[in-house]
Amino acid sequence: MSFKILVFTMTVLLQTGCVKTTIVNLTPSKLPRNSQGIYRIEAAWESNQKSIRDESIQGFVVIDGNHVPMERVQVVEDRWEVLLPLDQVDEGHTYLLKFDYLYDSFPEAKPDSLRTQPYKLNIVEPNRP
């Protein structure tokens, strides 16, 4: 009897695979200073979790305690970005990426979120020839 349970369990695990959701930071740690002081923060959302409601996903950059909403990039699937006004400071800027979403559950969808570790962004003088 226990052998049948083991075979059944292994079959289910092989069919479902591993569920994985990650946020990939696409922003380099150093960006050249520009005259406008506006900088692009980019991220990729990667998930094979079928229960996540795609339309509910909301991305944020959390910087200085503020949640700045990101927007989906229309051309590339699961890519997010935001243009942020940042001052040039010697110690750089620390930020993290956070995504809120709903996933299917019984009897109704439930909220969840995923965040990255903090990242450091330095605004540097552009290379001059």
Tokens standing for residue 8: 């059944």
Let me know if residue 43 belongs to a domain.
yes
Let me know if residue 107 belongs to a domain.
yes
Q: What is the pTM of this model?
A: 0.80
Among residues 69, 64, 100, 92, the alpha carbon closest in space to that of 82 is found at: 69
Residue 128 has a pLDDT of 52
Domain count, the chain: 1
Let me know if residue 8 belongs to a domain.
no
Let me know if residue 1 belongs to a domain.
no
Residue 89 has a pLDDT of 78
Let me know if residue 2 belongs to a domain.
no
What is the mean pLDDT for each group of 10 consecutive residues in the chain (129 residues)? 62 60 94 91 93 93 95 92 88 94 91 95 78
CATH at 98: 2.60.40.10
Let me know if residue 6 belongs to a domain.
no
Let me know if residue 71 belongs to a domain.
yes
Q: Give the chain as a DSSP string.
A: -HHHHHHHHHHHHHHH----EEEEE-S-SEEE--TT-EEEEEEEEEE--TTB-GGG-EEEEEETTEEEEPEE-SSSTTEEEEEEE----TT-EEEEEEEEEEE--SSS-EEEEEEPPPEEEEEEPPP--
Residue 129 has a pLDDT of 45
For residues 22 and 47, the answer to whether their CB atoms sit within 8 Å is yes
Let me know if residue 110 belongs to a domain.
yes
Task: Look up the domain containing 30 and give its range.
Answer: 19-123
